[in-house]
Amino acid sequence: MQVADRLRLMAVHAHPDDESSKGAATMAKYVAEGADVLVVSCTGGERGDVLNPHLKDDAHILRDLAQVRRDEMKRAQEILGVEHTWLGFVDSGLPEGDPLPPLPEGCFALEPIEVTTEALVREIRRFRPHVVTTYDENGGYPHPDHIMTHTVSMAAFLAAGDAAAYPHAGEPWQPLKLYYNQGFSKARIIAFHEALTALGEESPYAEWLERWEDRPERVVTTRIPCSEYFDKRDQALLAHATQIDPDGAWFKVPRDVQSKVWPTEEYEAALSYVPIAEGEDDLFAGIADAAEGDALATKGGLEIAYDGRQESTL
């Protein structure tokens, strides 16, 4: 494997707008530093709702929400400077009720895993990322498309470098690292809540903390300093106008305050052929050394981390 002159990052997401709320400043930072960044949207968000109260009665949006969301994704892509591809599956929607209704036939979450995995393997082999980001086993939150995105990302990461797997899906390529996005830690919410309280502002995060209870905290292995790109992140979020309320909780903490109290985006290393150093601050850390050492010749030393527990496999 040769790193060549450009590092490559692939961010795998369930719906358009997920890329702008999870790791957007990190992606903008790496684009500015000369890396190639590809966002993969597994679905088109066709079954989403209009979440911005200012637009919920807009007849044009309601008439063709699927196309509107594609247009919003295009604007967010341009703001972040990333490449983008649609994996082509259909949004599963978010079932609600007791008992929960069945998922709609033909949706992403019900597709055979070999079909969804092959589609992502094709993109990995085409783009040849060194690093992949995705969601943890809970999907970040338990939306069926987010959980399927996790499942597919893990399977494709392991299959992409195997010449015997999906042999018609392109030349094998093995990414070196896979991370979970971990943006909503309790510590971050407390920091924002205390910052707003210190400013004498009402905090929307008090209610979040009341509902937090004793949920276990995820392991954060990697913190990317990227506050310089919070403005691009927010612009990309606002480009998804049907999904983001400009007066909502996302924007309650002024950017200068965010940059002071929480200037990073967080990740959890999940699969890696490269040792993850304590206090890591770069998703590409160790990539150049691994390539020079031909770490992939035997696929040795794959570290698998789930819920903070690590084990090694050969």
- Give the CATH number, domain containing residue 170: 3.40.50.10320
Q: What is the pLDDT of residue 82?
A: 98
User: Is residue 197 domain-shared with residue 274, that is, in the same domain?
Assistant: no
pLDDT in tens, 2-14: 455 689 999 999 9
User: Is residue 200 domain-shared with residue 118, that is, in the same domain?
Assistant: no
C-alpha distances (whole Å) from 216 to each of 12, 61, 67, 151, 179 are: 24, 39, 39, 21, 19
Q: What is the pLDDT of residue 86?
A: 98
User: Is residue 91 domain-shared with residue 208, that is, in the same domain?
Assistant: no
Q: What is the mean pLDDT of the chain?
A: 91
- Note whether residue 233 is domain-resident: no
- Note whether residue 238 is domain-resident: no
Distance CA 240, CA 72 (A): 5
- Note whether residue 22 is domain-resident: yes
- Note whether residue 227 is domain-resident: no
Q: What is the pLDDT of residue 200?
A: 94
User: Is residue 157 domain-shared with residue 300, that is, in the same domain?
Assistant: yes
Determine whether the annotation assigns residue 193 to a binding site.
no
Above 50 in pLDDT, residue 305? no
Q: Give the residue carrying structure tokens 């305050």.
A: 257
Alpha helix locations (H) across the chain?
A: 18-21, 24-32, 59-63, 65-80, 113-127, 144-159, 186-198, 205-212, 230-239, 255-261, 287-292
- Note whether residue 231 is domain-resident: no
- Note whether residue 243 is domain-resident: no
Q: C-alpha dihedral over 125, 119, 31, 257, to 10 degrees?
A: -140
The number of distinct structural domains making up the chain is 2
The least confident of 51-65, 165-179, 251-265, 295-309 is 295-309
Q: How many CB atoms lie within 10 A of CB 190?
A: 15
pLDDT in tens, 221-255: 999 999 999 999 999 999 999 999 999 888 999 99
Q: What is the pLDDT of residue 5?
A: 67
Containing structural domain, residue 13: 8-182+264-313
Q: What is the percent of the chain where pLDDT is above 90?
A: 79
- Note whether residue 239 is domain-resident: no
User: Is residue 203 domain-shared with residue 105, that is, in the same domain?
Assistant: no
User: Is residue 176 domain-shared with residue 188, that is, in the same domain?
Assistant: no
User: Is residue 108 domain-shared with residue 155, that is, in the same domain?
Assistant: yes
User: Is residue 117 domain-shared with residue 65, that is, in the same domain?
Assistant: yes
User: Is residue 192 domain-shared with residue 91, that is, in the same domain?
Assistant: no
Spatial contact of 154 and 177, defined as CB atoms under 8 Å apart: no
User: Is residue 15 domain-shared with residue 153, that is, in the same domain?
Assistant: yes
Determine whether the annotation assigns residue 15 to a binding site.
yes
Spatial contact of 157 and 130, defined as CB atoms under 8 Å apart: no
- Helices 65-80, 24-32: inter-axial angle, 10-degree rounding: 40
Above 60 in pLDDT, residue 146? yes
Spatial contact of 211 and 193, defined as CB atoms under 8 Å apart: no
Distance CA 173, CA 121 (A): 9
Determine whether the annotation assigns residue 146 to a binding site.
yes
User: Is residue 73 domain-shared with residue 120, that is, in the same domain?
Assistant: yes
98 vs 280, residue with greater confidence: 280
Output the six-digit token pair for 68: 């509107």
User: Is residue 143 domain-shared with residue 210, that is, in the same domain?
Assistant: no
- Note whether residue 283 is domain-resident: yes
